[in-house]
Amino acid sequence: MSNTKILKKIKDENIVFVDFRFTDYYGKCHHITAPATHVDADFLSEGKGFDGSSIPGWRGIEDSDMVLMPDASSARVDPFLDEKTLILMCDVFRPHDNKPYNRCPRSIAAAATTYLKKTGIGDSVMFGSEQEFFVFDSVQFKNDMHKTGFSIRSEEGAWSSSLDLDGFNSGHRPGVKGGYFPVPPVDSLVDMRNEMCLRLCDMGMEAEVHHHEVATAGQCEIGTRGGAAVARGDDNQFLKYVVLNVAHQFGKTATFMPKPLKGDNGSGMHVHQSISKNGKNIFQGGLYGGLSQEALWYVGGILKHARALNALTNASTNSYRRLMPGFEAPVKLAYSARNRSAALRIPHSSASSRRVETRFPDSSANPYLCFAGLLLAGLDGIKNKIDPGDPCDFNLYHDSRSTDQKVRKVKEVCGSLADALVELDKDRKFLTSTGVFDDDAIDAYLELKQQEVARFRESPQPIEFEMYYSC
């Protein structure tokens, strides 16, 4: 869609407001809204100025002027606001030279796709992400000097079986690790997920499937059609927006936090990837799992750089509570066509849609940075013909004598965000040598995330009182 068509859409569909959105380093959306009567051709082509110093990890106050440059192809009508509002996703530009800002996540994802074309390996990349989330009835949390903790209320939670819920308790709810694919009334959120899918459809996104996930207490997943790095990043942001707002309308609260519940599965974001050239999927082949040699090298690149990628794909301290054995978490850096305990899987698919699925990411990741990082790691694998080693078609958590020695040799993802930041710092060349990321962008990201690690480290945890108060 061109800017001309945007203006026509505003007129023909009686758009009242235009919402300009962009994504910060954390992966959070921000917005500024203008009356549609103020949006003309000059506005769309010249962008809207804003203060970049107010965005974490961006400019200092002495160099804070930045410009939001709307992307006409991202136009969606907001399905929630009372007044008809058109959403436009924006790239962030520098006003002094009218070039993309080097720390703009959306621009980084676009640059990664441009780099793919420069390599000659392919001319397009497809990303598809499976975003899991929880829906609770309410949540409370507190982090004071003298009091800390959280409390989750969920009528669907296994712990609610003995509660008096306004004089009634149905008794129908998924147990711990018992939430995969039950029908109602055990799955109590079907109508809500249906509504989410309808609102996604309103925004031009095709929901392919939705279902209850493994964990108790309202863990869900909605699958949507894949797309290019930037477009798929936009879709991830729109999906989060829809899920959070529909849950709010139903009087509930949704979260994409990777591990909100102790003792049950966490929420991941499995990312499917394939590269095409001249309309042909170059991952299609006759080697293991139906993959091509290029695809296996792509796998090798991700496995080689996985621990550095963790800083981008698992971008919260909470992410590493999910990445633990025993909860279907893909901790082991291995690949397989069948094994869901491996970090990379080759899903069963038709030959033309052959792809690689990276299973360790989660939705705390900035989607644009996540996709860009995965693509550049995979391309590094292809360029340098990185051998991924043998596939691991055995249970990576099985401790029998026949497999124990094999399992010990398999490397693992990072154990904490702090470790991941160290890995990214020392293994950044596969990102910076491409010109997609520069050292300034990575240094700023590391500094921002180290602040999170520092906050976490200085805060005593409730479990520590149980373990150490009487030491």
Residue 94 token pair: 């520098």
Residue labelled with tokens 């170059």: 282
Instruction: Name the active-site residue from 270, 305, 307, 355.
Output: 270
**Which is it for strands 332-336 and 342-345: parallel, antiparallel or unpaired?**
parallel
User: Measured in whole angstroms, how far is the alpha carbon of residue 28 from the centre of its chain?
Assistant: 11
294 is catalytic: no
Instruction: Name the active-site residue from 51, 63, 439, 464.
Output: 51
Instruction: Name the active-site residue from 78, 91, 130, 156.
Output: 130
Residue 298 token pair: 């792509």
Instruction: Name the active-site residue from 137, 221, 235, 380.
Output: 221
359 is catalytic: yes
Ramachandran region, residue 14 (left: φ > 0; alpha: ψ -120 to 50; beta: rest): left
452 is catalytic: no
What is the SS3 string spanning the chain? CCHHHHHHHHHHCCCCEEEEEEECCCCCEEEEEEEHHHCCHHHHHHCEEEEHHHCCCCCCHHHCEEEEEECHHHCEECCCCCCCEEEEEEEEEECCCCEECCCCHHHHHHHHHHHHHHHCCCCEEEEEEEEEEEEECEEEEEECCCCEEEEEECCCCHHHHHCCECCECCCCCCCCCCCCCCCCCCCCCHHHHHHHHHHHHHCCCCEEEEEECCCCCCEEEEEECCECHHHHHHHHHHHHHHHHHHHHHCCCEEECCCCCCCCCCCCCEEEEEEEEECCEECCECCCHHHECHHHHHHHHHHHHHHHHHHHHHCCCCCHHHHCCCCCCCCCEEEEECCCCCEEEECCCCCHHHCCEEECCCCCCCCHHHHHHHHHHHHHHHHHCCCCCCCCCCCCCCCCCHHHHHHHHHCCECCCCHHHHHHHHHHCCHHHHCCCCCCHHHHHHHHHHHHHHHHHHHCCCCHHHHHHHCCC
173 is catalytic: no
Q: CA–CA distance from 59 to each of 50, 53, 315, 438, 458 (Å)?
A: 11, 5, 21, 15, 27
Asked whether 326 and 424 are in contact (CB, 8 A), the reply is no
130 is catalytic: yes
Asked whether 329 and 321 are in contact (CB, 8 A), the reply is no
340 is catalytic: yes
132 is catalytic: yes
Instruction: Name the active-site residue from 132, 187, 234, 328.
Output: 132
213 is catalytic: yes
Q: What is the CA radius of gyration of the chain?
A: 23
Instruction: Name the active-site residue from 357, 362, 380, 423.
Output: 357
Instruction: Name the active-site residue from 91, 213, 234, 235.
Output: 213
464 is catalytic: no
User: Measured between alpha carbons, how far is 249 from 426 in angstroms, rounded to an integer?
Assistant: 45
Instruction: Name the active-site residue from 103, 232, 359, 428.
Output: 359
Cite the active site residues: 51, 130, 132, 213, 221, 270, 340, 357, 359
